Amino acid sequence: MLKYTVKKYCSEGSKVHQILIAVLMVLPVFSYGTAVGWMSPMGPRLMSEDSPAAEPVHADVISWMASVAYLVGTPAVFFFGYIVDNYGRKKALMFTSLSMVVCWGLKLYSTETWALITARAIIGLGVSGSYVVTPLYIKEISEDSIRGVLGSLVVLSQNFGNLVVYILGEYLSYHATLWICLAVPLLHLLVFTTMPETPSYLLKCGKVEEARDALAWLRCRETSEPTVDSELQLLLLELEQNKEGRFLSNIKTLISDRSTFRAFRITLIITLAREMCGCLTVLHFASLIFNYASADGWMLTPNQQAALLGVVQLIGSCTASSLVERTGRKMLLGTTCFVSGIALCALGSWFYVSSVGITGASWVPVAALCLCIYCDAAGLQPVPFVIMTEMFSFQLRGTVTSIVISFACALVSIQLRVFQPLANAVGLYLIFWLFAGICLISTVYIFMVVPETRMRSIDEIYAEIGGKKESKDCEADVTRL
């Protein structure tokens, strides 16, 4: 059936099927993006006198709704890591969409406090599933030449989800917005059932012929073609060299193997740079910054402000998609980190000048805000995920992804909890200068330590970072297989 589809719908060797499945697999990430962005237009509406709830929702409830998703997401990534390794990438991704269906359905069912907080908690499953499963899926279905572009679709889809819900929240009713958001994960559940599991996971389960069919469909080729058989042999070799182990066994490998530990350490540090770039906290203070700028005519409603930032995010994500294969992972990550640091320096300086009674140009914080968000979407958010999937073997990808996403969720939850008290205690300018310092130090680390992973094997990457990866003679292994 698959080979007939290849003949009818795409030319031989086309990448159309890889692009198709990538677009479908980021729908859960899009749904997660709408869930995150939903708080911006609907939080104030729930607290207003015209609240869709029986009475205005208390500010403390809104605060819990904002933070509980990341609190749940921190342990949930290990749950998804288990599903990914034991039940497959496809089932894990569909479970992610199912959790988002429950989230939106619960909000439609009730506006009681328990329902709102529970629905937001379920989003923790959405973020975990989206960022644990999707990078792995893209890594294992895509060719090297387009893996970076497809990988950048993850953050692009989340940012697009943010923008869409900002616009919906501005012009549609509370319940109409929820129904539209519910339709996306439902559509994914219906359509994605027809998509294949990744060839790597099928081989792990011993389903060689199914893996061959899936690989041929993804590459738009016949199953009997030599190129399909050659790639299948390489996947078998990778699987043979990296036997799937238990979670604790993988943890031991990450710690004990020198080259793997160095790669793991690099991954954690660039994750720290990504989450501590200040983008999330800047977004939380967007209204304050725009209010300062309104004296020069920046008269926008809160949702219009959010939509403006959503547009900037989307442009940044599109930039990442076009540049990640041209400039390489390292250059794009380092450059956006550096520019973000400069923008945060300017933002902190503007707050400092304002704190001492000097009136600064109102366009400065607006420009710095947009530049910071642009850099975050263009490189700081998508590139670390691409690097992470390219630095580890099939055996370790699920475990590493689970740990890294859990680490990221913990950083976000802590950052959102302590930012306001710290800002009140030491001033906004010191906080933004701290974020800027992290970005600038991370830039030096990226250019000096982080390897370029584009179009390179794991052995080549580990050789650059100074590790020694034990490997068998490939030619002999291929012959034996």
Q: Does position 1 have pLDDT exceeding 50, yes or no? A: no
Calculate helix-pair angle for 27-37, 144-171, nearest 10 degrees: 40
The two three-digit tokens of residue 376, written as one number:
């975050």
CATH number of 254-466: 1.20.1250.20
pTM attached to this predicted model: 0.75
CATH number of 1-195: 1.20.1250.20
Give the up-direction half-sphere exposure of residue 103: CA atoms within 13 A in the CB hemisphere: 32
Rounded to whole angstroms, how far apart are CA atoms 210 and 201?
10
For 316-354, b where at least 16 C-beta lie within 10 A, e where not — what string?
A: bbbbbbebbbebbbbbbbbbbbbbbbbbbbbbbbbbbee
Q: Provide CATH 1.20.1250.20 ranges for the chain.
A: 1-195, 254-466
The two three-digit tokens of residue 322, written as one number:
């076009």
Average pLDDT rounded to a whole number, residues 344-351: 88
pLDDT at 43: 78
The two three-digit tokens of residue 61, written as one number:
């409830």
pLDDT in tens, 306-336: 677 778 878 887 777 677 767 888 899 999 9
pLDDT in tens, 239-258: 776 655 566 777 887 888 88
Rounded to whole angstroms, how far apart are CA atoms 152 and 24?
14
pLDDT in tens, 63-107: 777 778 888 888 887 888 788 878 888 999 999 999 999 999 999
Q: Are 237 and 474 in contact (CB under 8 A)?
A: yes
Q: Does position 429 have pLDDT exceeding 60, yes or no? A: yes
Higher-confidence position of 432 and 475? 432
Residue 436: which pLDDT band, with cuts at 50, 70 and 90? very high
